């Protein structure tokens, strides 16, 4: 069981109905999807709620890493198809630009780790495809079953999936809609690793702590450099643009100086809040 800490915020987190917000460490935000009877399907109000949550995390200096998980036997079973059915004859309300769960197309500043406790289908799978790191329980399963319902995975997963697992495997997932086990997803490189059953949140918290103990400036800037390659930019162009835009911000900050000074003085660095 992960204990909840009491961090000091510069701003209050937004109110939530779909998800439970907790703080297993003062620098870590844990978002738990909490519609177990609906297998944590996300409706339109939920996308907007989560967009506010992740935007708040990026702006809140005290939080350095986010984690998302689910209550019950599902991580997230995708869209609320009952809501889709009621809106089929009307103009659908668009989800935020950040995508499904405000994560499938999120860029953001700070990393988000997915702790997949159960099934991740449709939009739930699209969420994990764009998360920065993914841990899964042995019983977790992944699928893009949209073709079985006459729809498509339109929240950003398809072009991202093919970059992660390659063309043949991405085609197999998207065109057959079959379920992929945690073990298979691990072997494909879709997730970071499989952890002990029942311990996926605790493992994600430990991973988040290992990120949070580093320079917050260096984490953000390193993540930006990786994202440029992830979005399909050539290595040389990505390095040049990253070096011209993000690296100067790192140099101007106090944390780079502190990290070097702490190494020379053989002590643990005392990081300041990121001001990038």
pLDDT of residue 229: 82
**Which H, E and C letters describe 157-177, residue by residue?**
HHHHHHHHHCHHHHHHHHHHC
pLDDT of residue 253: 78
| Closest of 94, 93, 100, 107 to residue 125, by C-alpha | 100
* pLDDT, tens digit, 9 for 90 and up, residues 106-153: 999 999 999 999 999 999 999 999 999 999 999 999 999 988 878 788
| Full pLDDT tens readout for the chain, 276 residues | 566 766 688 889 999 999 999 999 999 999 999 999 999 999 999 999 999 999 999 999 999 999 999 999 999 999 876 665 555 545 556 778 899 999 999 999 999 999 999 999 999 999 999 999 999 999 999 999 988 878 788 888 898 999 899 999 999 999 999 999 999 999 999 999 999 999 999 999 999 999 999 999 999 999 998 988 877 666 566 566 666 776 677 777 787 777 767 767 888 888 887 777
Catalytic residue among 49, 60, 126, 224: 126
Put the strands of the sheet holding 112-116 in their side by side order: 19-25, 28-33, 65-70, 112-116, 133-136, 193-194
Q: Is residue 211 helix, strand or coil? A: helix
pLDDT of residue 115: 98
Concerning whether 146 is annotated as a catalytic residue, the answer is yes
Catalytic residue among 146, 231, 258, 273: 146
pLDDT of residue 87: 58
């Amino acid at each position: 069981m992960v204990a909840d800490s009491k961090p000091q915020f510069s701003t209050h987190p937004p109110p939530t109905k779909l998800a439970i917000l907790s703080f297993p460490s003062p620098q870590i935000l844990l978002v738990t999807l909490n519609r177990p009877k609906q297998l944590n399907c996300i409706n339109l109000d939920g996308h907007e709620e989560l967009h506010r949550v992740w935007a708040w995390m990026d702006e809140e200096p005290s939080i350095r890493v986010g984690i998302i998980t689910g209550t019950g036997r599902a991580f997230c079973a995708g869209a609320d198809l009952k809501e889709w059915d009621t809106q089929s004859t009307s103009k659908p309300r668009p989800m935020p630009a950040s995508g499904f769960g405000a994560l499938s197309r999120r860029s953001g500043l700070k990393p988000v780790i997915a702790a997949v406790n159960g099934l991740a289908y449709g939009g739930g799978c699209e969420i994990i495809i764009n998360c920065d790191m993914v841990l899964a329980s042995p019983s977790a399963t992944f699928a893009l079953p949209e073709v079985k319902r006459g729809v498509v995975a339109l929240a950003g997963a398809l072009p991202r999936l093919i970059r992660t697992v390659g063309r043949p495997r991405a085609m197999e997932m998207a065109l057959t809609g079959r379920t992929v086990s945690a073990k298979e997803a691990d072997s494909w490189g879709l997730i970071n690793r499989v952890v002990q059953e029942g311990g996926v949140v605790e493992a994600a918290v430990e991973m988040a702590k290992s990120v949070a103990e580093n320079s917050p400036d260096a984490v953000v800037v390193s993540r930006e450099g990786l994202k440029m390659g992830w979005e399909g930019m050539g290595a040389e162009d990505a390095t040049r643009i990253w070096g011209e835009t993000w690296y100067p911000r790192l140099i101007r900050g106090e944390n780079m100086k502190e990290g070097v000074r702490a190494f020379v003085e053989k002590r643990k660095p005392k990081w300041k809040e990121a001001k990038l």
